[in-house]
Structure 1
Amino acid sequence: MAEVYNLVNKKLRRNIMDYRIFLDTANVKEIEEAVETGIVAGIATNPNKMANVGRKYEDVIKDIRSFFDGPIAVEAIPTETEEIIEEAKRLNDLSENIVIKIPANKKGIKAINKLVPMGIKTNATLICNPGQALAAGLAGSPFISPFISRVDYIGHDGMELFRKVRKMYDFYDIKSVVIAASIKNCNDAIESILAGADSLALTYEVFNQLFNHPVTEEGIKKFTNDYNSIYGK
Structure 2
Amino acid sequence: MRLFLDSANLDEIRTWLARRAIRGVTTNPILAKQAHTDRSTIQEIVRFSAPYPVSVQVHSRVANEMTNEAKSLFDLGSNTVVKIPVVGPDGSPNLEPIHAVSVLGIPVNATACMTVGQALLAAYAGARYVSLLAGRIEEEGGSSVNVAHLTRTALTQAGLEAEIIVGSVREPGLVARLIPTGADICTLSADILGKLADHRYSRATAEQFYRAAETHSQSA
Structure 2 unmatched runs, 5+: none
Q: What is the alpha-carbon distance in structure 2 between the residues aligned to residue 104 and residue 186 of structure 1?
A: 26
Aligned residue for 1:151? 137
Identify if the C-alpha distance between structure 1 residues 120 and 171 changes in structure 2 by more than 3 Å, giving closer, same or farther.
same
Aligned residue for 2:67? 85
Number of aligned residues: 214
Instruction: Answer yes or no: is the 8 Å Cα contact 2:25–2:49 preserved in 1.
Output: no
Q: Write out per-residue CA displacement over residues 129-155 of structure 1, whole angstroms, 9 at most, x where no aligned residue.
A: 111011011112111101111111122
Q: Write out per-residue CA displacement over residues 61-116 of structure 1, whole angstroms, 9 at most, x where no aligned residue.
A: 23325533121110012222112111111111122211001011254211111111
Instruction: Answer yes or no: is the 8 Å Cα contact 2:46–2:79 preserved in 1.
Output: no
Matched, 1:117 2:103: yes
Instruction: Answer yes or no: is the 8 Å Cα contact 2:165–2:186 preserved in 1.
Output: yes
Q: What is the alpha-carbon distance in structure 2 between the residues aligned to residue 65 and residue 133 of structure 1?
A: 25
Amino acid at match of 1:136: A
Matched, 1:22 2:8: no
Aligned residue for 1:191? 177
Q: In the TM superposition, what are the counterparts of 1:103-182 in structure 2 within 5 Å? A: 103-105=85-87, 106-182=92-168
Structure 2 length as normaliser, TM-score?
A: 0.91
* Aligned-pair Cα RMSD in Å: 1.6
Identify if the C-alpha distance between structure 1 residues 61 and 55 changes in structure 2 by more than 3 Å, giving closer, same or farther.
closer
Q: Which stretches of structure 1, 4 residues or longer, exceed 3 Å deviation after superposition?
A: none
Structure 1 length as normaliser, TM-score?
A: 0.87
Structure 1 unmatched runs, 5+: 1-16
Instruction: Answer yes or no: is the 8 Å Cα contact 2:46–2:80 preserved in 1.
Output: no
Deviation at 1:122, TM superposition (A): 0.5
Question: In structure 1, the residue corresponding to 2:78 is in which secondary structure?
Answer: coil
Amino acid at match of 1:180: V
